[in-house]
């Protein structure tokens, strides 16, 4: 079963009797690990109250297009950027008609126009309305735009009719949302990813390291798994829970990381070096704590280079596709390009780590991806979203 761990799902509720099932849809999405925000149309509020959906989602419910409380009154754009996927349950015949022509006359329809996220529709209506040619034409138009549909099911309807038009069960809808993330573009591939920092010991209690949290590498692991890959995640010391479907190997130093990578790389299709490996380590690591004495005012450390893990992978006789990251504080593209050439990489992700709002430790990132033939700018987004975009690009290299 696909998980929705770390996914942000927007649930649109429109005005039909099946709106009474929307709280269960929200609950099932949360059971799969998603964070959920709800948008209700005016009609939906006639069937159930926003308070119910606020209680089950744990978030304020959005109902108004023009919302003075939303930052700069741009709530629709913020919501559109927030959602990793949008599910409309129930989607009435009227809602489908408005979406099909691209109306932007209420919050939900506007968010759909403003979002690039996958959209899943769970239609619910009377069986005659479902079969109606106008409705089928609307669905066809929406399918051509990439909208997916779950259901409707067949059976007894609230109006007394029997036939197709019942909204799918909540569990089925939640699973269909999760399936939106399963692209299959890396089906059957083995992806090895490094993440987090390395720690280079000075003595038993001190070390050299950096601010990497592992978030970027862990997000890439989940995105690769969702794309169908088998993933080995080699992680430096971080406080993150890995996707349960990844094969996780914990390491401490650059040397440990090198050995772990070399132990699994044979036959791998893709290697992604997202780890912030220390470039230098102490020449000697003292077996006892280095003591501070009154006489000692300064301490000089002698450092040596650590093994270059990614260069070792790209030097293999049959290397996988090798993707690196370049963490830079200045001359981003120049340094990233030089690293791509020097380390013989197919792709490098140039990461400006001089900014506080992206890069090390933050939940967001903004990067420029360089390949041998192109440059792709990726605007600021969550590391989870970015990971999915990067996996799409990486899959094109295999």
- Identify whether 159 is a catalytic site residue: yes
Comparing CB distances to ligand PMT, the nearer of 44 and 347 is 347
Name the minimum Å distance from CB 208 to ligand PMT: 12
CB atoms within 10 A of CB 349: 28
Answer for the pair 249, 234: CB distance below 8 angstroms, yes or no.
yes
Report the distance separating Cα 43 and Cα 61, nearest Å.
Answer: 14
Name the minimum Å distance from CB 329 to ligand PMT: 10
Answer for the pair 165, 114: CB distance below 8 angstroms, yes or no.
no
Nearest C-alpha neighbor of 194 from the set 280, 312, 281: 312
User: With the C-alpha atoms ordered 308, 313, 211, 366, is the resulting torsion angle positive or negative?
Assistant: positive
Q: What are phi and psi of 7, to 5 degrees?
A: -95, 145
Name the minimum Å distance from CB 382 to ligand PMT: 11
Name the minimum Å distance from CB 212 to ligand PMT: 4
Q: What are phi and psi of 58, to 5 degrees?
A: 75, 10
User: Which residues of the shown chain bind ligand PMT in the complex (CB under 6 A)?
Assistant: 194, 196, 212-216, 254, 273-277, 279, 306, 308-310, 324-327, 339, 351, 353, 359-361
Comparing CB distances to ligand PMT, the nearer of 50 and 307 is 307
Report the distance separating Cα 61 and Cα 42, nearest Å.
Answer: 12
Comparing CB distances to ligand PMT, the nearer of 84 and 106 is 84
Name the minimum Å distance from CB 379 to ligand PMT: 16
Question: Left (φ > 0), alpha (ψ -120 to 50) or beta: where does 335 sit?
Answer: alpha
CB atoms within 10 A of CB 290: 13
Comparing CB distances to ligand PMT, the nearer of 80 and 326 is 326
DSSP 397: T
Query: Catalytic pick from 45, 113, 159, 180?
Result: 159
Report the distance separating Cα 177 and Cα 28, nearest Å.
Answer: 10
Comparing CB distances to ligand PMT, the nearer of 176 and 260 is 260
Comparing CB distances to ligand PMT, the nearer of 12 and 214 is 214
Q: What three-state secondary structure class fits 194?
A: strand
The residue number with the shortest CB distance to ligand PMT is 273
Name the minimum Å distance from CB 28 to ligand PMT: 30
Report the distance separating Cα 234 and Cα 337, nearest Å.
Answer: 25
Active-site positions read: 159
């Amino acid at each position: 079963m696909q998980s929705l761990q770390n996914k942000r799902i927007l649930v649109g509720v429109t005005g039909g009797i099946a709106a009474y099932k929307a709280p269960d849809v929200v609950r099932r999405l949360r059971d799969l690990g998603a964070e959920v925000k709800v948008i209700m149309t005016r009609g939906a509020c006639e069937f159930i109250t926003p308070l119910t959906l606020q209680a089950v989602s744990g978030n304020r419910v959005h109902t108004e297009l023009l919302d003075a409380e939303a930052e700069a009154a741009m709530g629709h754009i913020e919501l559109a950027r927030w959602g990793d996927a949008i599910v409309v349950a129930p989607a009435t015949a009227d809602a489908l008609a408005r979406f099909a022509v691209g109306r932007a006359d209420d919050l939900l329809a506007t968010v759909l126009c403003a979002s690039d996220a996958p959209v899943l529709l769970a239609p619910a209506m009377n069986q005659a309305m479902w079969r109606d040619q106008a409705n089928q034409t609307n669905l066809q138009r929406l399918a051509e735009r990439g909208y997916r549909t779950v259901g409707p099911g067949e059976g007894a309807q609230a109006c007394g009719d029997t036939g197709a038009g019942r909204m799918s069960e909540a569990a089925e809808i939640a699973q269909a949302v999760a399936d939106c993330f399963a692209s299959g573009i890396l089906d059957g591939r083995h992806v090895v990813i490094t993440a987090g920092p390395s720690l280079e010991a000075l003595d038993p209690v001190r070390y050299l390291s950096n601010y990497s949290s592992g978030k970027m590498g862990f997000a890439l692991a989940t995105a690769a798994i969702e794309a169908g890959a088998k993933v080995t995640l080699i992680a430096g010391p971080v406080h993150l829970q890995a996707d349960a479907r990844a094969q996780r190997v914990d390491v401490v130093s650059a040397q440990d990381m090198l050995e772990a990578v070399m132990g699994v790389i044979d036959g791998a299709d893709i290697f992604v070096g997202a780890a912030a490996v220390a470039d230098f380590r102490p020449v000697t690591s003292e077996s006892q704590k280095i003591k501070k004495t009154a006489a000692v005012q300064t301490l000089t450390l002698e450092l040596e280079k650590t093994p270059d893990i990614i260069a070792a992978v790209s030097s293999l006789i049959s290397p996988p596709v090798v993707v690196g990251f370049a963490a830079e504080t200045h001359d981003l593209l120049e340094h990233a390009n030089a690293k791509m050439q020097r380390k013989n990489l197919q792709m490098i992700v140039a990461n400006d780590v001089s900014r506080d709002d992206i890069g090390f430790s933050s939940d967001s990132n903004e990067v420029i991806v360089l390949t041998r033939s192109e440059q792709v700018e990726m605007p600021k987004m969550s590391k989870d979203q970015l990971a999915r975009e990067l996996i799409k690009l990486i899959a094109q290299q295999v």
